[in-house]
Amino acid sequence: MKKLVLAYSGGLDTSYCAHYLSQREGFEVHAVTVNTGGFDAKELKSIRQKALELGASSYQAIDAVESFYDTVVKYLIFGNVLRNNTYPLSVSAERIVQALEIVAYAKSVGASHIAHGSTGAGNDQVRFDMIFQIMAPDIEILTPIRDGKLSREEEISYLQNAGIPYSWEKAKYSINKGLWGTSVGGDETLGSRKPLPEHAYPSQLEKKEPKSVVLEFERGEIIAVDGKKDTPVANIQKLHALASEYAIGRDIHVGDTIIGIKGRVGFEAAGPLLLLKAHHLLEKHTLSKWQQYQKEQLGSFYGMLLHEGQFLDEVMRNVERFLEDTQRYVSGKVFARLHPYRFELEGVESGFDLMNATFGSYGEMNRGWTAEDARGFIKILSNSGRIAHQIHQQK
């Protein structure tokens, strides 16, 4: 029997793949779930049981939360990446790490095939296939749902006829949870007009009294929340727990898919949005204006290529080195206040705060230059404009 590694989530599409590939196509199926923050121990136990009952020869759950942070999330924070100034790339960023982990596992067990449950209509097929083709060109990729152009109803009918007892009733809202946020899809997001209703979001408003929180950074990484030091991953999880009680971080992202059509998806990313905005504020105080300008360009570029599945292009490593270098002085505390559905950033404390210069304050008296210095500087600065204005008037 040929060994096949299946990216398995426990949902309808991958469950169809597990049964079809093992029972109909005769593969030795090794199901793998890569956890990037979306599953707890109880859920993984249930997924394991389902995979084995569907015909998988083995099941492996890979904990990739720390790897997800180190490989991708860290640089999304360094770059203040929000796709279309809105979306923190919650799910699309996860797929890259999941694909990398699946390839590594497939190689370790000597698999001749890799399979995933993507359809032919979304971004994930591109992200998975590109990683697989680049990292393991000798391993054949199988995509039963895409290749068979199967509808949800056809998949359910197949599994029912095979005597699979699970209920495949479609939830009203599709929820994909991970360390860097949760996506929410429903009938409303299939069109352009309707918002998602309050109850569609996983986290509901639980607290109304404002709460202060202190985020502490060291070289761009979150090292403490309210004075308690912990790992960046643990701190992200703490921030999410705090901010989600205020129903913070909800929005709907509209963007261009890799395959060229518009897409719309709701999301909830309380911790990531609070962290990104706090980090950005600290950078405004500690970086030069030209560092900030160049970071905006490269951060946006990095996020775009990550979304498009181009994570393995060497230019991404170049950008990561740049982003990492810019964080040398991004250390200090950011003071935030949480309110229902929103947060405010009150200020920062940092030993590298460029506002702490002793020779001058914006709009106030200074001791670093004279009035004559200022007049001469402004006169020289205006030279190019004066020349252009004079030439244009003559013509």
Separation between Cα atoms, residue 345 and residue 349, nearest integer Å: 12
Residue 28 bridge partners (DSSP)? 3
Quick one: 32 and 119 in the same domain?
yes
Q: Which pLDDT belongs to residue 383? A: 96
Per-residue model confidence as pLDDT tens digits over 232-267: 999 999 999 999 999 999 999 999 999 999 999 999
CA atoms within 13 A on the CB side of 252: 18
Using pLDDT thresholds of 50, 70 and 90, give the confidence band for residue 64.
very high
Asked if residue 382 is part of any domain, the answer here is yes
Which of 287-296, 326-335, 363-372 shows the lowest mean pLDDT across its residues? Answer: 363-372
Average pLDDT, the chain: 95
pLDDT band at 361 (very low <50, low <70, confident <90, very high): low
pLDDT average, residue stretch 256-280: 96
Within a domain: 167: no
**Burial letters for 137-173: b for 16+ Cβ neighbours within 10 Å, e otherwise?**
eebeebbbbbeeebeeeebbebbeeeebeeebeeeeb
Q: Answer yes or no: do 276 and 387 share one domain.
A: no
Average pLDDT over every residue of 99-124: 96
3-state secondary structure of 233: helix
Looking at the domain assignment, is residue 381 inside a domain?
yes
The domain in which residue 190 lies consists of: 174-287+326-349
Among 88-92, 218-222, 228-232, 236-240, the least confident range: 88-92
* Residue 362 pLDDT greater than 70, yes or no: no
| Predicted local distance difference test score (pLDDT) of residue 117 | 97
**Whether residue 187 is found in the same domain as residue 236:** yes
Report residue 229's pLDDT band, with 50, 70 and 90 as the boundaries: very high
What is d(CA 383, CA 386) in angstroms, rounded to the nearest whole number?
Answer: 5
Q: Identify the pLDDT of residue 171.
A: 84
Same domain, 259 and 153: no
273 and 376 assigned to the same domain: no
- Buried b vs exposed e over 231-244: b needs ≥16 C-beta within 10 Å? ebbebbbbbbebbb
- Two tokens at 207? 């607290």
Q: Are residues 65 and 139 in the same domain?
A: yes
What pLDDT score does 293 carry? 98
Q: What is the pLDDT of residue 359?
A: 63
* Secondary structure (3-state) at 38: coil
Amino acid in position 127: R
User: How much is the pLDDT for 237?
Assistant: 97
**Nearest alpha-carbon partner for 245 in 346, 336, 345, 341:** 341
Same domain, 339 and 205: yes
Residue 382 φ/ψ, nearest 5 degrees: -85, 0
Please report, for residues 116, 173, 363, 368, 372, the alpha-carbon distance to residue 379 in angstroms, rounded to integers and kept in the order given. 65, 62, 20, 18, 11
List all residues 6 or more positions away from 29 whose beta carbon is below 8 Å from its beta carbon: 4, 6, 18, 21, 22, 55, 56, 57
Q: Does residue 356 fall inside a structural domain? A: no
Once rounded to an integer, what is the mean pLDDT over residues 15-40?
97
- Looking at the structure of the chain, the number of domains it has is 3
Q: Is the pLDDT assigned to residue 167 strictly greater than 90?
A: no
Same-domain pairing of 152 and 115: yes
Percent of all residues in the chain with a pLDDT value above 90, rounded to a whole number? 92
Q: Is the pLDDT of residue 165 over 90?
A: no
Helix%, strand%, coil% for the chain, nearest 5: 45, 20, 35
Q: Does the global pTM surpass 0.85? A: yes
* Cα-trace Rg, the chain: 25
Residue after which a domain boundary falls, among 107, 130, 161: 161
Q: What's the confidence (pLDDT) of residue 363?
A: 65
Do 203 and 345 lie in one domain? The reply is yes
Please tell me the predicted confidence (pLDDT) of residue 358.
67
186 plus 262 within the same structural domain: yes
> In this structure, what CATH number is given to the domain that contains residue 22?
3.40.50.620
Statement to judge: residues 184 and 118 lie in one domain: no
71 and 22 in a single domain? The answer is yes
